[in-house]
């Protein structure tokens, strides 16, 4: 058995030049369960503190609850060095000894994350793992060629997940562009002959969010009862919204009105106001998460999502300050949406519903791929299943 720190470069030295721009990877960009993390944002390095890394390094959250939730990724910065949050550890394989992708999969194991979590110290809610402790964790590292063979199997799943994520992104861009073209630039079908009144097409009108959507605020589940027992009731918390999935369960019961509807809009009401169209498993709404569901078949939830997105992000920026931002009922009641005439709404909804169906299909495929990968991972890493036997499963 070897110590982790003997086989892995932990927070390796990376030299950045002041005044030059580098990719920035904040902890919020890391999505648990998805291997790559990319950044289109480059900012000037002025000597600020934080994690410094090279392309393909492993970024590992050291703060609770991010660590326990599996916030880790492999940096993909097109060969560039980068920097990020102070709450990230950086790990890299040693040439000829350990493969960096193998390190990523090793740290994805629940056993390893739990050991790291056991080293946490600090004030409640802001505890951080101790790197010295992690370096002492013992693991039976196989020969590097066998490490690479394990990586080749698991990476196939992650490659398929990434391809599907790219397809989802393209579909989202199509929907966003269609919405802007029709409802912002007013280049909808037949716009050439449309009449305008007060700056909007005749027959269109502004409606209050609460007039077009059912608004449901989450149930106050006891966090002390939360567990990972999948036989119990699934609960969606704010942190679950970006990944459209949850690993939180509870034995508590509540009214079915808190059961999340498929394709309903979920919004996190604290910190970053995360949003999604829920396509995950059957689950209940936790407190500080709000659900919006259209009252009419004339208004597709995807259209409603696109209509309010910029306004939610406006509140996110407006309410940010020295403390955590809080989105409230009074903010939602100020949101107005521009509803088109029935003919235009039908055409828009038909397009958006089709895109939503395609997105949901890809989400579900990714969930299946993630489940299969996560079942294989501990068996391959522990040696209970040999790589040569994977094709026989």
User: What percentage of the chain reaches a pLDDT higher than 90?
Assistant: 84
Question: pLDDT tens-digit profile of 33-82?
Answer: 889 999 878 999 999 999 999 999 999 999 988 898 889 999 999 999 99
The per-residue pLDDT for 393 is 47
Q: Residue 392 pLDDT more than 60?
A: no
Token couple for 384: 């209970």
Instruction: Give the model's pLDDT for residue 184.
Output: 96
Mean predicted confidence (pLDDT) in 126-131:
92
Whole-number pLDDT of residue 39 = 85
Q: What percentage of the chain carries pLDDT values higher than 70?
A: 98
b/e per residue 129-144 (b: at least 16 CB within 10 A)? bbbebbeebebebeeb
Residue 360 has pLDDT above 90, yes or no: yes
Can you tell me the mean pLDDT for 346-363?
A: 96
Q: Supply the pLDDT for residue 106.
A: 97
The tens digit of pLDDT for each residue in 224-269 reads 999 989 999 999 999 899 889 998 999 999 999 999 999 999 999 9
Residues 6+ away with beta carbon under 8 Å from 308: 209, 265, 292, 335, 337
Residue 321 has a pLDDT of 61
DSSP string, 309-321: HHHHHHHHHHH-S
* Average pLDDT estimate for 366-385: 93
Residue carrying the six token digits 């964790």: 137
Q: Is the pLDDT of residue 212 over 90?
A: yes
Mean pLDDT of the chain: 93
* C-alpha closest to that of 182 among 162, 159, 163, 200: 200
Is residue 295 scored above 70 in pLDDT? yes
Place 323 in a pLDDT band, splitting at 50, 70 and 90: low
Query: What is the reported pLDDT for 107?
Result: 96
Min mean pLDDT across 161-170, 317-326, 367-376 is at: 317-326
Based on the number of CB atoms within 10 Å of its own CB, is 199 exposed (0-12), middle (13-18) or buried (19 or more)?
Answer: exposed
């Amino acid at each position: 058995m070897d110590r982790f720190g003997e086989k892995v470069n932990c927070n390796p030295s990376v030299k950045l030049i002041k005044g030059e721009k580098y990719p920035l990877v904040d902890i919020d960009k890391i999505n648990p369960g998805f291997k790559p993390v990319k950044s289109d944002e480059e900012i000037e390095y002025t000597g600020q503190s934080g994690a410094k890394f090279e392309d393909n390094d492993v970024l590992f959250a050291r703060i609770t609850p991010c660590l326990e939730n599996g916030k880790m990724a492999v940096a993909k910065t097109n060969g560039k060095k980068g920097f990020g949050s102070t709450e990230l550890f950086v790990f890299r394989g040693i040439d000829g000894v350990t493969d960096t992708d193998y390190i990523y999969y090793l740290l994805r194991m629940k056993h390893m994350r739990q050991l790291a979590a056991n080293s946490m110290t600090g004030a409640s809610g802001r505890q951080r793992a101790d790197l010295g402790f992690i370096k002492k964790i013992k693991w039976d590292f196989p020969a590097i060629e066998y490490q690479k063979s394990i990586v080749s199997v698991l990476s196939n799943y992650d490659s398929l997940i990434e391809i599907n994520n790219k397809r989802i992104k393209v579909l989202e861009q199509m929907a966003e562009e269609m919405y802007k073209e029709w409802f912002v630039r007013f280049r909808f079908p037949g716009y050439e002959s449309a009449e305008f009144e007060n700056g909007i097409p005749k027959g269109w009108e502004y409606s209050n969010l609460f007039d077009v959507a059912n608004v449901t605020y989450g149930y106050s589940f006891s966090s002390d009862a939360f567990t990972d027992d999948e036989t119990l009731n699934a609960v969606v918390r704010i942190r679950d919204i970006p990944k459209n999935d949850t690993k939180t369960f509870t034995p508590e019961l509540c009214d079915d009105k808190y059961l999340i509807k498929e394709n309903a809009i979920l919004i996190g009401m604290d910190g970053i106001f995360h949003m999604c169209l829920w396509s995950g498993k059957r689950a209940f709404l936790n407190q500080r998460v709000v659900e919006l569901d259209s009252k009419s078949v004339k208004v597709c939830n995807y259209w409603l999502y696109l209509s309010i997105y910029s306004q939610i992000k406006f509140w996110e920026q407006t309410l940010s300050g020295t403390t955590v931002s809080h989105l409230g009922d009074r903010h939602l009641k100020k949101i107005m949406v521009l509803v088109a005439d029935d003919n235009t709404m039908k055409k828009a909804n038909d397009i958006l519903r089709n895109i939503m169906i395609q997105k949901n299909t890809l989400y579900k495929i990714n969930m299946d791929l993630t489940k299969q990968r996560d079942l294989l991972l501990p068996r391959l890493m522990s040696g209970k299943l040999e790589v040569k036997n994977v094709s026989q499963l």
